[in-house]
Chain A
Amino acid sequence: MYPVSYHKPASVDDAVKALSSGEEAMVLAGGQTLIATMKQHLAAPSDLVDIRGIAELSGIKISGDTLSIGAAMTHAEVAASKDVQKHIPALACLAAGIGDPAVRHMGTLGGSVANNDPAADYPAALLALGATVVTNKREIAADDFFTGLFSTDLEDGEIITRVDFDKTEAAGYAKFAQPASLYALVGVFVAKRGGDVRVAITGAGDDGVFRSEALEAALAKDFSEAAAKGAGVSADNLMSDIHGDADYRAHLIRVMAARAVAGAA
Protein backbone atom coordinates (compact mmCIF):
# COMPACT_ATOMS: atom_id res chain seq x y z
CA MET A 1 0.00 0.00 0.00
CA TYR A 2 1.26 3.51 -0.83
CA PRO A 3 1.50 6.05 2.03
CA VAL A 4 -1.82 7.64 2.88
CA SER A 5 -3.05 10.19 5.44
CA TYR A 6 -5.96 9.23 7.65
CA HIS A 7 -8.74 11.60 8.75
CA LYS A 8 -11.81 11.00 10.87
CA PRO A 9 -14.17 13.98 10.65
CA ALA A 10 -17.19 14.26 12.95
CA SER A 11 -19.53 15.99 10.49
CA VAL A 12 -20.48 15.79 6.83
CA ASP A 13 -19.19 19.35 6.32
CA ASP A 14 -15.78 18.48 7.72
CA ALA A 15 -15.71 15.34 5.59
CA VAL A 16 -16.46 17.35 2.46
CA LYS A 17 -13.66 19.78 3.38
CA ALA A 18 -11.19 16.95 3.96
CA LEU A 19 -12.18 15.36 0.65
CA SER A 20 -11.55 18.56 -1.29
CA SER A 21 -8.28 19.44 0.44
CA GLY A 22 -6.52 16.13 -0.28
CA GLU A 23 -4.80 15.70 -3.64
CA GLU A 24 -6.69 12.48 -4.28
CA ALA A 25 -8.81 11.94 -1.20
CA MET A 26 -11.27 9.04 -0.91
CA VAL A 27 -14.06 8.14 1.46
CA LEU A 28 -13.30 5.18 3.73
CA ALA A 29 -16.21 3.25 5.24
CA GLY A 30 -15.78 -0.39 6.31
CA GLY A 31 -12.66 -0.75 4.18
CA GLN A 32 -13.69 -4.28 3.14
CA THR A 33 -13.24 -3.40 -0.52
CA LEU A 34 -11.09 -0.27 -0.44
CA ILE A 35 -8.23 -1.63 1.71
CA ALA A 36 -7.80 -4.68 -0.55
CA THR A 37 -7.91 -2.39 -3.60
CA MET A 38 -5.20 -0.18 -2.08
CA LYS A 39 -3.01 -3.20 -1.30
CA GLN A 40 -3.19 -4.16 -4.98
CA HIS A 41 -2.35 -0.57 -5.98
CA LEU A 42 -5.62 -0.40 -7.91
CA ALA A 43 -6.46 2.61 -5.75
CA ALA A 44 -3.82 5.00 -4.44
CA PRO A 45 -5.58 7.75 -2.49
CA SER A 46 -3.46 10.48 -0.89
CA ASP A 47 -5.97 10.79 1.96
CA LEU A 48 -8.62 8.58 3.50
CA VAL A 49 -11.65 10.29 4.99
CA ASP A 50 -13.23 7.83 7.42
CA ILE A 51 -16.96 8.59 7.60
CA ARG A 52 -17.73 6.21 10.48
CA GLY A 53 -17.47 8.97 13.09
CA ILE A 54 -20.32 11.02 11.58
CA ALA A 55 -23.51 10.62 13.63
CA GLU A 56 -25.77 11.62 10.70
CA LEU A 57 -24.65 8.55 8.72
CA SER A 58 -25.71 5.99 11.30
CA GLY A 59 -29.05 4.78 12.55
CA ILE A 60 -32.13 3.10 11.10
CA LYS A 61 -35.46 4.94 11.15
CA ILE A 62 -39.02 4.38 10.03
CA SER A 63 -41.19 7.37 9.18
CA GLY A 64 -44.55 6.59 7.65
CA ASP A 65 -43.97 4.05 4.90
CA THR A 66 -40.28 4.84 4.52
CA LEU A 67 -37.39 2.92 6.02
CA SER A 68 -34.18 4.99 6.15
CA ILE A 69 -30.84 3.30 6.70
CA GLY A 70 -27.72 5.35 7.43
CA ALA A 71 -24.89 4.85 4.92
CA ALA A 72 -22.44 3.79 7.65
CA MET A 73 -24.67 1.02 9.00
CA THR A 74 -22.87 -2.31 8.77
CA HIS A 75 -24.32 -5.39 7.11
CA ALA A 76 -24.52 -7.02 10.56
CA GLU A 77 -26.47 -4.06 11.97
CA VAL A 78 -28.93 -4.08 9.08
CA ALA A 79 -29.37 -7.87 9.36
CA ALA A 80 -30.07 -7.64 13.11
CA SER A 81 -32.37 -4.60 12.96
CA LYS A 82 -35.93 -5.34 14.14
CA ASP A 83 -37.14 -2.40 12.04
CA VAL A 84 -35.62 -3.80 8.86
CA GLN A 85 -36.84 -7.32 9.68
CA LYS A 86 -40.36 -6.01 10.12
CA HIS A 87 -40.51 -3.46 7.31
CA ILE A 88 -38.60 -5.27 4.52
CA PRO A 89 -37.55 -8.72 5.79
CA ALA A 90 -35.87 -9.57 2.46
CA LEU A 91 -33.41 -6.74 3.03
CA ALA A 92 -32.39 -8.07 6.47
CA CYS A 93 -32.02 -11.50 4.94
CA LEU A 94 -29.87 -10.11 2.10
CA ALA A 95 -27.57 -8.31 4.56
CA ALA A 96 -27.21 -11.50 6.62
CA GLY A 97 -25.96 -13.32 3.51
CA ILE A 98 -23.19 -10.89 2.52
CA GLY A 99 -19.71 -12.40 2.79
CA ASP A 100 -18.86 -13.80 6.20
CA PRO A 101 -19.40 -12.59 9.80
CA ALA A 102 -16.18 -10.54 9.96
CA VAL A 103 -16.99 -8.81 6.66
CA ARG A 104 -20.52 -8.09 7.92
CA HIS A 105 -19.16 -6.50 11.10
CA MET A 106 -17.24 -3.92 9.04
CA GLY A 107 -18.76 -3.55 5.55
CA THR A 108 -21.42 -0.86 5.17
CA LEU A 109 -24.49 -0.17 3.06
CA GLY A 110 -22.99 3.06 1.66
CA GLY A 111 -19.70 1.38 0.77
CA SER A 112 -21.41 -1.47 -1.04
CA VAL A 113 -23.68 0.84 -2.99
CA ALA A 114 -20.91 3.34 -3.88
CA ASN A 115 -18.67 0.51 -5.03
CA ASN A 116 -21.38 -1.04 -7.27
CA ASP A 117 -19.55 -4.34 -7.74
CA PRO A 118 -21.39 -6.23 -10.51
CA ALA A 119 -21.81 -9.19 -8.13
CA ALA A 120 -22.73 -7.26 -4.95
CA ASP A 121 -26.07 -7.88 -3.25
CA TYR A 122 -27.33 -4.44 -2.20
CA PRO A 123 -27.53 -2.92 -5.71
CA ALA A 124 -30.19 -5.51 -6.63
CA ALA A 125 -32.24 -4.59 -3.56
CA LEU A 126 -32.05 -0.85 -4.21
CA LEU A 127 -33.01 -1.25 -7.86
CA ALA A 128 -35.91 -3.65 -7.28
CA LEU A 129 -37.26 -1.68 -4.32
CA GLY A 130 -36.97 1.61 -6.22
CA ALA A 131 -34.92 3.04 -3.34
CA THR A 132 -33.59 6.58 -3.11
CA VAL A 133 -29.90 7.23 -2.48
CA VAL A 134 -29.53 10.38 -0.40
CA THR A 135 -26.21 12.24 -0.54
CA ASN A 136 -24.88 15.46 0.98
CA LYS A 137 -26.02 17.19 -2.24
CA ARG A 138 -29.18 15.53 -3.58
CA GLU A 139 -31.50 12.56 -3.82
CA ILE A 140 -30.87 10.02 -6.58
CA ALA A 141 -33.36 7.36 -7.67
CA ALA A 142 -31.81 3.88 -7.80
CA ASP A 143 -32.82 3.71 -11.50
CA ASP A 144 -30.41 6.59 -12.20
CA PHE A 145 -27.76 5.73 -9.61
CA PHE A 146 -26.17 2.53 -10.95
CA THR A 147 -24.47 3.35 -14.23
CA GLY A 148 -22.45 0.22 -15.09
CA LEU A 149 -19.58 -1.88 -13.76
CA PHE A 150 -18.19 -0.29 -10.58
CA SER A 151 -19.67 3.02 -11.64
CA THR A 152 -22.39 5.21 -10.18
CA ASP A 153 -23.88 8.66 -10.65
CA LEU A 154 -21.87 9.96 -7.62
CA GLU A 155 -19.69 12.99 -8.29
CA ASP A 156 -16.22 13.53 -6.87
CA GLY A 157 -16.42 14.36 -3.20
CA GLU A 158 -20.10 13.41 -2.94
CA ILE A 159 -21.00 11.38 0.16
CA ILE A 160 -23.93 8.99 0.52
CA THR A 161 -25.62 9.78 3.82
CA ARG A 162 -28.50 7.30 3.78
CA VAL A 163 -30.75 5.16 1.61
CA ASP A 164 -34.56 5.41 1.78
CA PHE A 165 -36.72 2.37 1.03
CA ASP A 166 -40.49 2.50 0.63
CA LYS A 167 -42.53 -0.33 2.06
CA THR A 168 -43.58 -3.09 -0.32
CA GLU A 169 -46.42 -5.55 -0.34
CA ALA A 170 -43.93 -8.41 -0.71
CA ALA A 171 -40.23 -8.69 -1.43
CA GLY A 172 -37.81 -11.58 -1.69
CA TYR A 173 -34.15 -12.19 -2.48
CA ALA A 174 -32.38 -15.36 -3.54
CA LYS A 175 -28.70 -15.66 -4.30
CA PHE A 176 -26.60 -18.44 -5.72
CA ALA A 177 -23.28 -17.59 -4.08
CA GLN A 178 -19.99 -18.19 -5.83
CA PRO A 179 -18.58 -20.51 -3.15
CA ALA A 180 -15.05 -19.05 -3.00
CA SER A 181 -15.81 -15.33 -3.10
CA LEU A 182 -19.29 -15.56 -1.49
CA TYR A 183 -20.46 -12.86 -3.93
CA ALA A 184 -23.48 -13.56 -6.13
CA LEU A 185 -22.98 -15.76 -9.17
CA VAL A 186 -26.60 -14.82 -9.68
CA GLY A 187 -28.79 -12.90 -7.24
CA VAL A 188 -32.44 -11.98 -7.91
CA PHE A 189 -34.47 -9.46 -5.91
CA VAL A 190 -38.23 -9.26 -6.52
CA ALA A 191 -40.51 -6.55 -5.14
CA LYS A 192 -44.28 -6.36 -5.55
CA ARG A 193 -46.47 -3.32 -4.98
CA GLY A 194 -50.02 -4.01 -6.16
CA GLY A 195 -49.86 -4.91 -9.84
CA ASP A 196 -46.37 -3.48 -10.17
CA VAL A 197 -43.49 -5.96 -9.92
CA ARG A 198 -39.83 -4.98 -10.14
CA VAL A 199 -37.10 -7.57 -10.57
CA ALA A 200 -33.39 -6.74 -10.34
CA ILE A 201 -30.55 -9.11 -11.15
CA THR A 202 -26.99 -8.98 -9.82
CA GLY A 203 -23.93 -11.11 -10.58
CA ALA A 204 -25.05 -11.88 -14.11
CA GLY A 205 -25.12 -8.72 -16.20
CA ASP A 206 -22.34 -7.76 -18.60
CA ASP A 207 -22.77 -4.21 -17.39
CA GLY A 208 -23.66 -4.75 -13.75
CA VAL A 209 -27.02 -4.80 -11.99
CA PHE A 210 -30.12 -4.59 -14.24
CA ARG A 211 -33.89 -5.03 -14.28
CA SER A 212 -35.38 -7.97 -16.14
CA GLU A 213 -38.34 -6.92 -18.27
CA ALA A 214 -39.21 -10.52 -19.08
CA LEU A 215 -39.50 -11.48 -15.41
CA GLU A 216 -41.30 -8.28 -14.47
CA ALA A 217 -43.96 -8.85 -17.14
CA ALA A 218 -44.38 -12.53 -16.25
CA LEU A 219 -44.63 -11.86 -12.51
CA ALA A 220 -46.96 -8.86 -12.89
CA LYS A 221 -49.40 -11.21 -14.60
CA ASP A 222 -48.90 -14.08 -12.21
CA PHE A 223 -46.75 -13.68 -9.07
CA SER A 224 -45.80 -17.34 -8.78
CA GLU A 225 -42.80 -19.66 -8.88
CA ALA A 226 -44.11 -21.27 -12.05
CA ALA A 227 -44.33 -17.91 -13.80
CA ALA A 228 -40.74 -17.10 -12.80
CA LYS A 229 -39.46 -20.47 -14.04
CA GLY A 230 -41.34 -20.10 -17.31
CA ALA A 231 -40.25 -16.54 -18.08
CA GLY A 232 -38.31 -16.06 -21.32
CA VAL A 233 -35.02 -14.85 -19.81
CA SER A 234 -32.52 -14.37 -22.60
CA ALA A 235 -28.76 -14.96 -22.32
CA ASP A 236 -28.04 -11.78 -24.31
CA ASN A 237 -25.87 -9.30 -22.39
CA LEU A 238 -25.16 -11.80 -19.63
CA MET A 239 -21.66 -12.48 -18.36
CA SER A 240 -19.63 -15.55 -19.30
CA ASP A 241 -16.62 -16.39 -17.18
CA ILE A 242 -14.86 -19.40 -15.61
CA HIS A 243 -17.70 -19.77 -13.09
CA GLY A 244 -20.46 -20.09 -15.65
CA ASP A 245 -21.47 -19.07 -19.15
CA ALA A 246 -24.32 -16.79 -20.15
CA ASP A 247 -26.78 -19.68 -20.75
CA TYR A 248 -26.08 -21.11 -17.32
CA ARG A 249 -26.62 -17.70 -15.76
CA ALA A 250 -29.89 -17.23 -17.67
CA HIS A 251 -31.08 -20.55 -16.26
CA LEU A 252 -29.98 -19.59 -12.74
CA ILE A 253 -31.84 -16.28 -13.03
CA ARG A 254 -35.12 -18.17 -13.51
CA VAL A 255 -34.37 -20.56 -10.66
CA MET A 256 -33.33 -17.78 -8.26
CA ALA A 257 -36.33 -15.67 -9.29
CA ALA A 258 -38.63 -18.59 -8.44
CA ARG A 259 -36.94 -18.96 -5.04
CA ALA A 260 -37.19 -15.22 -4.41
CA VAL A 261 -40.92 -15.34 -5.18
CA ALA A 262 -41.40 -18.40 -2.96
CA GLY A 263 -39.68 -16.61 -0.06
CA ALA A 264 -41.28 -13.20 -0.64
CA ALA A 265 -42.85 -11.61 2.44
Chain B
Amino acid sequence: MTKVSLTVNGKPVARDVAGGTLLSEFLREDLRLTGTHIGCDTSQCGACVVHVNGKAVKACTTLAASLEGADVTTIEGLANGGLHPMQEAFKEHHGLQCGFCTPGMIMSGVDMVTRYKAEGRELTQEAIRHELEGNICRCTGYHNIVKAVEDAASKM
Protein backbone atom coordinates (compact mmCIF):
# COMPACT_ATOMS: atom_id res chain seq x y z
CA MET B 1 0.00 0.00 0.00
CA THR B 2 1.11 3.55 -0.74
CA LYS B 3 -0.09 6.51 1.27
CA VAL B 4 -1.28 9.39 -0.92
CA SER B 5 -2.41 12.86 0.09
CA LEU B 6 -4.01 14.89 -2.64
CA THR B 7 -6.72 17.46 -3.26
CA VAL B 8 -9.92 16.34 -4.98
CA ASN B 9 -12.38 19.05 -6.01
CA GLY B 10 -10.78 21.46 -3.56
CA LYS B 11 -10.91 19.09 -0.56
CA PRO B 12 -7.89 17.38 0.98
CA VAL B 13 -8.01 13.57 0.79
CA ALA B 14 -5.54 11.08 2.31
CA ARG B 15 -5.81 7.33 1.70
CA ASP B 16 -3.75 4.16 1.54
CA VAL B 17 -3.99 2.75 -1.98
CA ALA B 18 -2.71 -0.41 -3.62
CA GLY B 19 0.02 0.20 -6.23
CA GLY B 20 -2.21 -0.83 -9.10
CA THR B 21 -5.29 1.21 -8.13
CA LEU B 22 -6.43 3.31 -11.08
CA LEU B 23 -7.49 6.90 -10.51
CA SER B 24 -10.88 5.97 -12.01
CA GLU B 25 -11.35 3.21 -9.38
CA PHE B 26 -10.11 5.49 -6.62
CA LEU B 27 -12.60 8.22 -7.55
CA ARG B 28 -15.59 5.95 -8.10
CA GLU B 29 -15.07 3.29 -5.42
CA ASP B 30 -13.11 4.96 -2.62
CA LEU B 31 -14.49 8.49 -2.92
CA ARG B 32 -17.88 7.57 -4.43
CA LEU B 33 -17.49 10.21 -7.11
CA THR B 34 -19.29 8.27 -9.82
CA GLY B 35 -19.52 11.17 -12.27
CA THR B 36 -16.24 9.97 -13.80
CA HIS B 37 -17.40 7.24 -16.18
CA ILE B 38 -15.58 4.16 -17.38
CA GLY B 39 -16.44 3.40 -20.99
CA CYS B 40 -13.62 1.29 -22.35
CA ASP B 41 -10.99 1.02 -19.60
CA THR B 42 -8.43 0.82 -22.44
CA SER B 43 -7.51 4.53 -22.85
CA GLN B 44 -9.59 4.96 -26.01
CA CYS B 45 -12.95 6.56 -25.21
CA GLY B 46 -12.26 9.51 -22.90
CA ALA B 47 -15.36 9.01 -20.70
CA CYS B 48 -13.01 8.99 -17.69
CA VAL B 49 -11.22 12.29 -18.41
CA VAL B 50 -10.50 14.37 -15.31
CA HIS B 51 -8.02 17.19 -14.64
CA VAL B 52 -4.78 16.53 -12.77
CA ASN B 53 -2.98 19.76 -11.92
CA GLY B 54 -5.15 21.51 -14.48
CA LYS B 55 -4.52 19.09 -17.37
CA ALA B 56 -6.91 16.58 -18.94
CA VAL B 57 -5.85 12.97 -18.34
CA LYS B 58 -7.55 9.61 -18.67
CA ALA B 59 -8.33 8.43 -15.13
CA CYS B 60 -8.41 4.80 -16.29
CA THR B 61 -4.76 5.13 -17.34
CA THR B 62 -3.40 6.94 -14.28
CA LEU B 63 -2.32 5.31 -11.02
CA ALA B 64 -3.76 6.82 -7.83
CA ALA B 65 -0.48 6.06 -6.05
CA SER B 66 1.35 8.45 -8.40
CA LEU B 67 -0.75 11.46 -7.36
CA GLU B 68 0.92 12.53 -4.10
CA GLY B 69 0.34 16.28 -3.75
CA ALA B 70 -1.74 16.48 -6.94
CA ASP B 71 -4.79 18.64 -7.49
CA VAL B 72 -7.59 16.61 -9.11
CA THR B 73 -10.82 18.04 -10.51
CA THR B 74 -13.68 15.80 -11.59
CA ILE B 75 -17.00 16.66 -13.21
CA GLU B 76 -18.46 16.99 -9.68
CA GLY B 77 -16.00 19.78 -8.91
CA LEU B 78 -16.78 21.94 -11.93
CA ALA B 79 -20.06 23.58 -10.92
CA ASN B 80 -19.49 26.42 -8.53
CA GLY B 81 -22.92 27.48 -7.27
CA GLY B 82 -24.46 27.51 -10.76
CA LEU B 83 -23.43 25.22 -13.62
CA HIS B 84 -20.03 25.81 -15.27
CA PRO B 85 -20.34 27.65 -18.63
CA MET B 86 -19.29 24.41 -20.39
CA GLN B 87 -22.09 22.46 -18.64
CA GLU B 88 -24.55 25.24 -19.43
CA ALA B 89 -23.53 25.17 -23.10
CA PHE B 90 -23.94 21.37 -23.38
CA LYS B 91 -27.45 21.77 -21.95
CA GLU B 92 -28.27 24.73 -24.21
CA HIS B 93 -26.99 23.11 -27.43
CA HIS B 94 -28.25 19.61 -26.69
CA GLY B 95 -24.65 18.33 -26.66
CA LEU B 96 -25.70 14.99 -25.20
CA GLN B 97 -28.22 12.22 -25.63
CA CYS B 98 -27.60 9.29 -23.24
CA GLY B 99 -25.03 11.37 -21.36
CA PHE B 100 -22.50 8.60 -20.84
CA CYS B 101 -19.64 10.37 -22.60
CA THR B 102 -20.63 13.80 -21.27
CA PRO B 103 -18.43 14.07 -18.14
CA GLY B 104 -15.34 13.33 -20.25
CA MET B 105 -16.48 15.61 -23.08
CA ILE B 106 -16.99 18.48 -20.65
CA MET B 107 -13.66 17.96 -18.87
CA SER B 108 -11.88 17.78 -22.27
CA GLY B 109 -13.82 20.85 -23.42
CA VAL B 110 -12.74 22.90 -20.40
CA ASP B 111 -9.15 21.71 -20.84
CA MET B 112 -8.92 22.73 -24.50
CA VAL B 113 -10.53 26.14 -23.97
CA THR B 114 -8.18 26.90 -21.05
CA ARG B 115 -5.15 25.73 -22.98
CA TYR B 116 -5.94 27.66 -26.18
CA LYS B 117 -6.67 30.83 -24.18
CA ALA B 118 -3.39 30.51 -22.25
CA GLU B 119 -1.46 30.05 -25.51
CA GLY B 120 -3.38 32.85 -27.26
CA ARG B 121 -4.55 30.51 -30.03
CA GLU B 122 -7.95 30.59 -31.71
CA LEU B 123 -10.11 27.55 -30.97
CA THR B 124 -11.77 27.06 -34.35
CA GLN B 125 -14.42 24.41 -35.09
CA GLU B 126 -11.75 22.39 -36.83
CA ALA B 127 -9.45 22.65 -33.80
CA ILE B 128 -12.28 21.54 -31.49
CA ARG B 129 -12.90 18.45 -33.63
CA HIS B 130 -9.20 17.66 -33.61
CA GLU B 131 -8.94 18.21 -29.85
CA LEU B 132 -11.85 15.80 -29.28
CA GLU B 133 -9.98 12.92 -30.93
CA GLY B 134 -9.70 11.09 -27.59
CA ASN B 135 -13.38 11.38 -26.69
CA ILE B 136 -15.87 9.01 -28.28
CA CYS B 137 -19.64 9.57 -28.36
CA ARG B 138 -21.97 6.82 -29.62
CA CYS B 139 -25.08 9.03 -29.75
CA THR B 140 -24.79 12.63 -30.84
CA GLY B 141 -22.73 12.64 -34.03
CA TYR B 142 -20.56 15.32 -32.37
CA HIS B 143 -22.08 18.40 -34.09
CA ASN B 144 -23.83 19.72 -31.00
CA ILE B 145 -20.84 18.90 -28.81
CA VAL B 146 -18.65 21.04 -31.08
CA LYS B 147 -21.23 23.85 -30.97
CA ALA B 148 -21.38 23.63 -27.18
CA VAL B 149 -17.61 23.85 -26.78
CA GLU B 150 -17.46 26.78 -29.22
CA ASP B 151 -20.20 28.63 -27.34
CA ALA B 152 -18.66 27.94 -23.91
CA ALA B 153 -15.29 29.16 -25.18
CA SER B 154 -16.82 32.58 -25.82
CA LYS B 155 -18.15 32.68 -22.25
CA MET B 156 -15.24 31.30 -20.25
Chain A residues near B (Cβ < 8 Å): 1-6, 8, 28, 31-32, 35-36, 38-39, 47-48, 50, 52, 76, 80, 99-103, 105-106, 182
Interface flag for B92 (CB, 8 Å): no
Query: Does the CB pair A3–B20 fall under 8 Å?
Result: yes
Q: Which residues of B contact A101 (CB under 8 A)?
A: 56, 108, 111-112, 115, 131, 133-134
Q: Which residues of B contact A32 (CB under 8 A)?
A: 43, 61
Query: Does the CB pair A106–B42 fall under 8 Å?
Result: no
Q: Which residues of B contact A182 (CB under 8 A)?
A: 133
Interface flag for B123 (CB, 8 Å): no
Query: Does the CB pair B133–A105 fall under 8 Å?
Result: no
Query: Does the CB pair A3–B134 fall under 8 Å?
Result: no
Q: Which residues of A contact B18 (CB under 8 A)?
A: 3
Chain B residues near A (Cβ < 8 Å): 2, 18-20, 22, 41-43, 46, 49, 52, 55-58, 61-63, 65-66, 68, 108, 111-112, 115, 119, 131, 133-135
* Interchain pairs with CB closer than 8 A, number: 76
Q: Is the interface of A mostly helix, strand, loop or mixed?
A: mixed
- 14 A-B residue pairs with Cβ-Cβ distance under 8 Å, sorted by A, are A3-B18, A6-B2, A8-B68, A31-B61, A32-B43, A35-B61, A36-B42, A36-B61, A48-B63, A80-B119, A100-B131, A100-B133, A103-B43, A103-B134
Q: How far is the CA of A190 from the CA of B4 in the complex (A)?
A: 45
Q: Which residues of A contact B111 (CB under 8 A)?
A: 101
Query: Does the CB pair B46–A102 fall under 8 Å?
Result: yes
Query: Does the CB pair A106–B62 fall under 8 Å?
Result: yes
Query: Does the CB pair B57–A105 fall under 8 Å?
Result: yes
